Structure 1
C-alpha cells in the first residue's frame, strides 16, 4: 500500500467505533466479555515484553495508549506493575468500556476521551515517555481525509513526547519500510518487534508490522 491513495473505509469513522464499543459494553455488562484485542493478545504481550527489556523505560515512566479501545494493552502493563498509564480514545463508549474493565480488574489506569486529530490539548500529564498505538494509525489512514490526517497524527504524537520519547506502533496496513518513510521527518526507527511470519509462493512475510520509533528533536 503506497499510503497516499488508500480507499476510505467505515473503520476510519467514529460512527463505526462508537457502534462497536456500545455493543462491547453491552456484552461486558451481560456476560463479562471484554471484546476483541486488536491484533490479538500475543501482539500486546510482545509489546509489553519489549518495553520490559528496554532500559530507558521504567515502571514509573509516563505512558499513553492512543486509541486505547477496551484498554486491554494497558491492563497487561498494569499487571506488570507499570504505574503511570493513560488511555485515550475519541469514542466515549470505548472509554466507558475500558474504565469498566479496569475497575473490575482493580487496576489503576486513567482513561480520558480525546481525539488526537482535534485541536484540543492532550488531557494527560504531557509530555509522555512512551506512546502506544495498536491500529489507531491504521484507522486514521482509512478515513475520508486519510493522507492529511496521518500527517496531523504524526505531528501531534511528536508534540506530546519527551525529547527521548518513543512511539511503539503496530500496524497491519503498512509495511515496516512504509512506516519508517511516513514518520521519517519527525521520528527515526529505533528497533522493531518481530512478529510471526508466514511463507507463500516462496516468499516470507508478516501480517503485522511493529516498530519502535524515537522522536527527532
Structure 2
C-alpha cells in the first residue's frame, strides 16, 4: 500500500508561513541579529523540546552507526539540545531549504564548539534528497510539515501532503523512527497522513493538556511512527 491520498479534512488554508520567501526573510533577519547581539533566534515549539529530547535519549540507542536527521532544522535548537544531553553530535544532521537558516545554525554551532560534529546543509526536502546517506534511523520534524501544509497549491506544482509522507517512508531505515511534532494536526490526522503498509504508528509523546468547554486537548501533538 502506498501513501494514502491526502484528505480534504487535513487540508489547511494557504498562508505566507508556507512560502520559502517568508522563511528566507525570517532567517536573514535572525542571522543579522545573531551577529549583532548574539540572539540565537526563535525556537519553534519551545515547550516541546525537553520532552522530545527525553524521549529520544530514552528510546533511541546511540550506536556507532546510528543516524539522525531533522527536516527543517532552522537554527538547530533541537539538535543542539540532543547534543547537550549526550547524544553523539557526529550522528546529528540538519537540513533546511533556507540558506540563511543553515548559516545561522552553523554560526551558533561554532559558538558551542559543535561546528565540526553536528552537520547542517541546505536541502529542499520536497525536491531533493539529503546528501550523505540513503536512509536514516531517526527522522525528526518539529513544525516543518505544518509549514509545508500551508503552501498554496495554486502556486506550486508540489503537493507536500502527497510527497512528504512517501519520502519519509523511503528515507527511513528498516526499523527506523519518524518523530513529528505539530500544532496544526491532531494525532488521528497525523496517523491518517503517515501510516502506510510499511510505516506504522508507534507511540505518542504527551504534552501539557488544557480543558475548555468540557473537552481536553493539547496545543502540540508529537507522534512517533516506525518503519517495519
The TM tier, using the shorter chain, reads: over 0.9
Residue by residue, what CA displacement relative to the aligned partner does 1:100-133 show, whole Å, maximum 9, x if unpaired?
A: 0111111220000001100x33213231100000
Quote the residue 1:203 is aligned against: 215
Alpha carbons 1:187, 1:214 under 8 Å: kept: yes
Quote the residue 1:116 is aligned against: 125
Quote the residue 2:199 is aligned against: 187
Q: What is the alpha-carbon distance in structure 2 between the residues aligned to residue 150 and residue 133 of structure 1?
A: 14
Q: What is the alpha-carbon distance in structure 2 between the residues aligned to residue 59 and residue 31 of structure 1?
A: 38
Q: What is the alpha-carbon distance in structure 2 between the residues aligned to residue 11 and residue 110 of structure 1?
A: 25
Quote the residue 1:138 is aligned against: 146
**Is 1:62–2:67 an aligned residue pair?**
yes
Unaligned runs of 5+ in 2: 1-7
Quote the residue 1:77 is aligned against: 82
Bigger CA drift: 76-85 or 20-29?
76-85
Quote the residue 1:215 is aligned against: 227
Which runs of 4 or more aligned residues in structure 1 lie more than 6 Å from their structure 2 counterparts after TM superposition? none
Alpha carbons 1:59, 1:82 under 8 Å: kept: no
Q: Which has the higher contact order (CA 8 A, sep 6+)?
A: 2
Equivalent of residue 52 in structure 1, options 29, 38, 57: 57
Q: What is the alpha-carbon distance in structure 1 between the residues aligned to residue 14 and residue 61 of structure 2?
A: 36
What do you get for the CA RMSD once the two structures are aligned?
1.6
Q: What is the alpha-carbon distance in structure 1 between the residues aligned to residue 205 and residue 63 of structure 2?
A: 20
Q: What is the alpha-carbon distance in structure 2 between the residues aligned to residue 196 and residue 85 of structure 1?
A: 27
Quote the residue 1:92 is aligned against: 99
Bigger CA drift: 103-112 or 137-146?
137-146
Unaligned runs of 5+ in 1: none
Q: What is the alpha-carbon distance in structure 1 between the residues aligned to residue 63 and residue 103 of structure 2?
A: 25
Quote the residue 1:2 is aligned against: 9
Q: What is the alpha-carbon distance in structure 2 between the residues aligned to residue 51 and residue 18 of structure 1?
A: 29
Bigger CA drift: 42-51 or 69-78?
42-51
Q: What is the alpha-carbon distance in structure 2 between the residues aligned to residue 164 and residue 149 of structure 1?
A: 24
Pairs within 5 Å for 1:143-182: 143-145=151-153, 148-182=159-193
Residue by residue, what CA displacement relative to the aligned partner does 1:72-117 show, whole Å, maximum 9, x if unpaired?
A: 1000111122220100000000000001011111122000000110
Alpha carbons 2:67, 2:92 under 8 Å: kept: yes
Residue by residue, what CA displacement relative to the aligned partner does 1:3-61 show, whole Å, maximum 9, x if unpaired?
A: 13x21100000000000000111111111111111111x3111111001111x432542
Alpha carbons 2:57, 2:87 under 8 Å: kept: no
Aligned residues: 212
